[in-house]
A and B are shown apart, each in its own frame.
Chain A
């Protein structure tokens, strides 16, 4: 599903590479944590999987597509198979929960009728049934992140990328979000999550890949934070 083959990325003007000869292989349906200190290169991996940055050396293959050589005009279509959740939710403040999710469908060409059918379903799935017509400022942080997860998942992507999704949430809410991601993972979606949160990693007992200064220092099947 996801392959990084001897990937090296050095940003212009950086003294050392963000990723240094990194090789990782992630199978379909896996749940993987990337952990490590700030600046270790975790976020660069997410950006690479989204084709936001390309490696200087090595190869990145996502969903059977070689991202390394992908032309930028193919990027939009490629991204439709990847859902994405961030620490800062990235919801549109002037749209309700329903509209935020429907927006993601409509801008990729789905009709309003499809949205009417699919959006309530996915909002129900993330536990926001009955709150469809609330605006982001009327929702708690955890609920906003649920909307973001619903938006990422509504298109049934093969891969869900989560960049510190619990970074702005309290521990209890974080665990609820993790349960949600776990449920999504059980539908067969590959989940890749970057985090600092040792509690969560320790509770979930999933594959843990630890990165330090751009190198993989640990790759453990049912790991803990360390």
Chain B
């Protein structure tokens, strides 16, 4: 009976002030969406770092007028360097092939570049990608070297962009969370006020504290859980319509986001949403009900 009483009180409580309940659920939902999104970006950036850094290369582009001896000397120097795990020589034809491959969708660009305009290069895989600087210092002044280009420099910029995106999502999540928690606190105050007579009688006749508080706390938890379901829905929609449809052209660039990863954010969102709503409600009651 007591469980039934508590549950029916929760439903009555949510319905009593339904506009406030909806506002509370939406803000919780948006906040949790941001939280889930930032979590996804975080794991994706880590995935992509692994993926990219594994294949990362430092390219040493050679001058067009490099002599055979210089090229051979540079080649054997690179082979002997302990910082370098693998050396690949790319001649002008191969460079042109790669170029054609890369820009096959842009015929204008293709026709503007001739085969012998692209420089020869050595492609290096580093033992430790972070060691780029010493490689650059050693070889940029070597005879016949035009420039040393590190892909990780470029990638870092991209990753910084992702990290910035993640931080923005996290900041938005926190800001929305503050708004959501204030709404939860307010809803609980209104609920406690509208039930003040019942609460006074319950305290008088000796109802236990948990029994008095449970309907209010559960009301907030239910709102938090509904909010996390909204958040899951939003993330599913984001994946389906933004990632899979609108951004599908860029699929090679991003590490793919799988459905299971999206679904796995749900327990986190539900846990965070339910828990912080419950704590907020409980703290509010401590101040407001003095039970």
Contact = CB atoms under 8 A, between A and B. Distances in A.
Co-assembled chains A and B: yes
Interface of A: 73, 75-80, 82, 84, 90, 92-93, 103-104, 106-109, 111-112, 151, 155
A107 to B, nearest CB: 4
B5 A106 contact: yes
22 contacts: A76-B207, A76-B208, A77-B206, A79-B205, A90-B201, A92-B197, A93-B197, A103-B198, A104-B201, A104-B205, A106-B1, A106-B2, A107-B201, A107-B202, A107-B207, A108-B205, A108-B206, A108-B207, A111-B1, A112-B1, A151-B201, A155-B205
B17 interface: no
A93 B206 CA distance: 20
Given A75-B206, A78-B206, 11 more contacts: A73-B209, A76-B209, A79-B206, A80-B206, A82-B206, A92-B201, A106-B1, A107-B205, A107-B211, A108-B207, A155-B205
A93 B211 CA distance: 21
| Pairs A-B, 4 closest by C-beta atoms | A79-B206, A107-B207, A80-B206, A104-B205
Contacts of B2: 106, 109
Nearest to A152: B205
Interface of B: 1-2, 5, 197-198, 200-209, 211-212
A226 B79 CA distance: 115
Contacts of A106: 1-2, 5
Contacts of B203: 76, 79
A90 B211 contact: no
A178 B242 CA distance: 76
Nearest to A151: B205
Contacts of A77: 206, 208
A106 B1 CA distance: 8
A94 B38 CA distance: 48
A110 to B, nearest CB: 9
A192 to B, nearest CB: 15
A93 B195 CA distance: 12
A211 B209 CA distance: 34
